[in-house]
């Protein structure tokens, strides 16, 4: 049962990627997470099917589908492996989207085609708060800049062929594209609690040359574009949370029908039923939010506040579903033999990644109080 | 090379809790997901591989209700050129023979060099439609096919037999093959192909286009039921030594040692 009605095309996308996830991802999901391996082969296969260039116009080799379709595919993939869902969201929402919307034709021609041909794009996150000077040393050299500093999170960092890099100071707000083999960048891998196969990396920059030719957004006034990219990506990240919550619930339902305690299957116990019903109610609410905000983007409507609300709600839902599904499993849910602990670990990242719910809430409040 | 592939939309029951419906002759399907019958997906892929090699067209045809069009669209996205749905709602009860008669009537006006079906449907497991259809069309057939080499007028096929045996056959075209799983690796539909398939038209035909005379139903389901449990699992408790001793006792009682 679902409250969302899909059209023919969307049903095919859901069914085909559900099949792909079950057949191709399920056998390897635990292993790549355990070992923190970026799944290049799988991403290659998904690129061939068009998922990493889903929103890119056909003119640049992409599929030119809408954000609703992206969410459907990402939800299905994330039911089995949230790391892979994250890689795809970063490629589409944080790399392809700003290029599509703000870059000139020569940047689009070059970089969108590279993404469509299977290259991986990365995004160098800037913290949402002002950075201390030593973290962000930017020196002007004519039209160019020389950057030294540190960045904690590079999304798709371990395997990106090129990066989108926002650089913001009190005077400068620009977006650059840098190649992963450029001089002055030193990547380090992250040992994380969840999403261990998503290829998150950190980086030290030493005298990185940010040339005028590599700048595709020369003036992001007031950081509005960066905020818009976050809002756009929030929709994809919300679809990942939704996928995790759905699979956590399905796992709990299956287990509750099999597990017998005191002569009864535990699904017969009202308190277990309540936990599962609560997850279901939140999932259906979240699904409405995700597909409503996706349709706003597809129709060209304003989506900023709706996306923040969706991201906060879905981030909380993932953790709620993960925790309660562990609870349904009792002690077994805490064991690595069962996938519940992975769902929970992956869900937690989505309350933190790239945007803080507290800052999003203050932005929502600011909007309310205008 | 023009190929017709007969496909069936079936419920996915492998990991589902299956219950019998109120008629006692079918299963409850409301909560089940549906997909292309497994061996039919191999049949489709084999047709696509042959088309990629020799050119031609692929027509997929299915006797089913409206939601069967979802399955036909996936077939279009995977390489079929045309799709036909025969309205199952126009016919009462169906069995393998009646289905083959309806397919025969729908196929008779189409051009084909090969017809592929899956070797077995995972819902009723009759394995009848393919070979019956070949008989009704009066063309040669090969069942359980695991390899095909085609030329303009003939096909060299390998059939999988019990006991690890393989039979090689040379058959003249047009012919019908029922395809065994594992003959190839079915592809996934790409997003661009899904986009294009979503816009393609599916031809829908009903009882007006099908010969109604002599549509015979040879078999009727009397009852469908889940067999009662006849054995219970016994869990051996106690220390490893106690459990081993109990196990040895059971083996002796059963005459195994």
Distance CA A236, CA B175 (A): 49
Q: What is the pLDDT of residue B172?
A: 95
CB neighbour list of residue B42: distance below 8 Å, 6 or more residues apart: B118, B179, B180, B181, B182, B183, B184, B186
The answer to whether residue A1 sits within a structural domain is no
Distance CA A234, CA A228 (A): 10
Q: What is the pLDDT of residue B67?
A: 93
A249 and A363 in a single domain? The answer is yes
Inter-chain touch A8–B73, beta carbons under 8 Å: yes
pLDDT in tens, B22-71: 999 899 988 888 999 999 999 999 999 999 999 999 999 999 999 999 99
Q: Where residue B232 falls among pLDDT bands split at 50, 70, 90? A: confident
A89 and A145 in a single domain? The answer is no
A217 and A232 in a single domain? The answer is no
pLDDT in tens, B99-156: 999 999 999 989 999 999 999 999 989 999 999 999 999 999 999 999 999 987 899 9
Distance CA B253, CA B257 (A): 9
Q: Which domain holds residue A75?
A: 8-119
The answer to whether residue A169 sits within a structural domain is yes
CATH number (domain holding residue A101): 1.10.540.10
Inter-chain touch B198–A69, beta carbons under 8 Å: no
Specify the DSSP element, H or E, that contains A205.
strand A201-210
Domain termination residue (choose one: A192, A221, A250) = A221
Inter-chain touch B194–A54, beta carbons under 8 Å: no
A307 and A360 in a single domain? The answer is yes
A25 and A102 in a single domain? The answer is yes
Distance CA A19, CA A8 (A): 17
Instruction: Tell me whether B17 touches chain A (CB under 8 Å).
Output: yes
A228 and A308 in a single domain? The answer is yes
Query: Mutate which of A5, A12, A62 to test chain B, going by most B C-beta atoms within 10 A?
Result: A12
Distance CA A215, CA A205 (A): 17
Inter-chain touch B188–A49, beta carbons under 8 Å: yes
A206 φ, ψ (degrees, to nearest 5): -130, 110
Q: Give contacts of B190 with chain A, Cβ < 8 Å.
A: 48-50
> Are the C-beta atoms of B161 and B133 separated by less than 8 Å?
no
Q: What is the pLDDT of residue A133?
A: 59
pLDDT over 80 (residue B214): no
Q: Which of B70, B191, B198 sits opposite A50 (nearest CB)?
A: B191
Domain termination residue (choose one: A79, A100, A119) = A119
Q: Where are chain B's structural domains?
A: 3-209
Please state the domain count of chain A: 3
Inter-chain touch A16–B77, beta carbons under 8 Å: yes
A169 and A93 in a single domain? The answer is no
Q: CA dist A129 to A94, A100, A172, A356, B254, Å?
A: 19, 27, 15, 10, 74
Q: What is the pLDDT of residue A129?
A: 65
A190 and A323 in a single domain? The answer is no
Q: What is the pLDDT of residue A3?
A: 63
CB neighbour list of residue B196: distance below 8 Å, 6 or more residues apart: B76, B77
CATH number of B3-209: 3.40.50.620
φ/ψ region of A222 (left if φ > 0, alpha if ψ in -120 to 50, else beta) reads left
A185 and A241 in a single domain? The answer is no
Three-state SS at A197 = coil
A29 and A162 in a single domain? The answer is no
Q: Give contacts of B192 with chain A, Cβ < 8 Å.
A: 50, 58, 63
Q: What is the pLDDT along chain A (370 residues), one digit of tens a residue?
A: 566 788 889 999 999 999 999 999 999 999 999 999 889 999 999 999 999 999 999 999 999 999 999 999 999 999 999 999 999 999 999 999 999 999 999 999 999 999 999 999 999 998 766 656 556 788 888 889 999 988 889 999 999 999 999 998 878 889 999 998 888 899 998 889 999 999 999 999 999 999 999 999 998 888 899 999 999 999 999 999 999 999 999 999 999 999 999 999 999 999 999 999 999 999 999 999 999 999 999 999 999 999 999 999 999 999 999 999 999 999 999 998 899 999 999 999 999 988 888 888 999 999 899 8
Domain termination residue (choose one: A186, A221, A256) = A221
Inter-chain touch A50–B190, beta carbons under 8 Å: yes
């Amino acid at each position: 049962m679902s409250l969302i009605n899909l059209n023919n095309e969307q049903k095919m996308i859901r069914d085909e990627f559900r099949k792909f996830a079950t057949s191709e991802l399920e056998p390897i999901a635990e292993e790549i997470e355990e070992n923190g391996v970026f799944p290049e082969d799988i991403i290659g296969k998904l690129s061939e099917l068009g998922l990493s260039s889903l929103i890119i116009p056909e003119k640049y080799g992409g599929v030119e589908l809408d954000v609703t379709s992206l969410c459907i595919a990402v939800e299905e993939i994330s039911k089995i492996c949230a790391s892979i869902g994250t890689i795809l969201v970063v490629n589409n929402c944080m790399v392809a989207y700003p290029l599509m919307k703000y870059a000139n034709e020569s940047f689009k021609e070059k970089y969108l085609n590279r993404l469509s041909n299977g290259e991986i794009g990365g995004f160098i996150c800037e913290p949402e708060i002002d950075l201390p000077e030593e973290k962000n040393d930017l020196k002007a050299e004519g039209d160019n800049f020389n950057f030294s500093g540190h960045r904690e999170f590079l999304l798709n960092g371990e395997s990106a062929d090129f990066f989108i890099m926002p650089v913001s100071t009190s005077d400068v707000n620009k977006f650059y594209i840098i190649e992963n083999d450029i001089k002055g960048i030193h990547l380090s891998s992250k040992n994380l609690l969840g999403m261990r196969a998503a290829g998150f990396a950190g980086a030290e920059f030493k005298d990185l040359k940010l040339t005028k030719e590599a700048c595709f957004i020369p003036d992001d006034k007031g950081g509005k574009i960066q905020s818009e990219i976050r809002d756009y990506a929030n929709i994809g990240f919300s679809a990942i949370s939704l996928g995790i919550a759905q699979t956590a619930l399905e796992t709990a339902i299956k287990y509750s029908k099999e597990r017998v305690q005191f002569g009864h299957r535990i699904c017969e116990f009202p308190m277990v039923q309540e936990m599962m019903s609560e997850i279901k109610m939140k999932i259906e609410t979240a699904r409405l939010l995700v597909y409503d905000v996706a349709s706003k983007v597809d129709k060209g409507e304003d989506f900023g506040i709706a996306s923040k609300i969706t991201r906060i709600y879905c981030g909380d839902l993932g953790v709620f579903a993960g925790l309660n599904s562990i609870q349904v499993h009792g002690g077994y849910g805490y064991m690595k033999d069962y996938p519940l602990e992975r769902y929970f670990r992956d869900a937690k990242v989505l309350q933190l990644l790239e945007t803080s719910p507290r800052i999003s809430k203050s932005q929502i409040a600011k909007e309310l109080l205008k | 090379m023009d190929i017709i592939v007969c496909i069936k939309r079936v419920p996915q029951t492998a990991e589902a809790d299956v219950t019998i419906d109120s008629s006692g002759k079918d299963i409850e399907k409301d909560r089940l997901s549906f997909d292309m019958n497994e061996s039919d997906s191999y049949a489709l892929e084999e047709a696509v591989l042959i088309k990629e090699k020799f050119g031609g067209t692929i027509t997929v045809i299915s006797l089913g209700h409206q939601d069967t069009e979802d399955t036909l669209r996936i077939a279009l996205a995977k390489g079929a050129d045309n799709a036909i749905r025969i309205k199952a709602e126009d016919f009462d009860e169906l069995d393998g023979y009646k289905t083959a008669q309806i397919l025969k009537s729908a196929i008779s006006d189409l051009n084909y060099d090969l017809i592929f079906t899956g070797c077995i449907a995972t819902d009723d497991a009759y394995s009848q439609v393919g070979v019956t259809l070949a008989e009704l069309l009066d063309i040669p057939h090969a069942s359980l096919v695991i390899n095909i080499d085609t030329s303009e007028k003939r096909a060299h096929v390998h059939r999988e037999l019990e006991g690890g045996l393989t039979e090689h056959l040379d058959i003249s075209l047009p012919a019908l093959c029922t395809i065994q799983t594992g003959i190839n690796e079915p592809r996934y539909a790409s997003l661009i192909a899904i986009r294009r398939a979503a816009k393609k038209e599916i031809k829908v035909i009903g009882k007006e286009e099908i010969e109604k005379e002599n549509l015979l139903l040879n078999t009727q389901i009397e009852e469908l039921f889940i067999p009662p449990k006849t054995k219970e699992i016994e869990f051996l408790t106690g220390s490893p030594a106690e459990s081993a001793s109990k196990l040895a006792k059971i083996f002796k009682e059963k005459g195994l040692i």
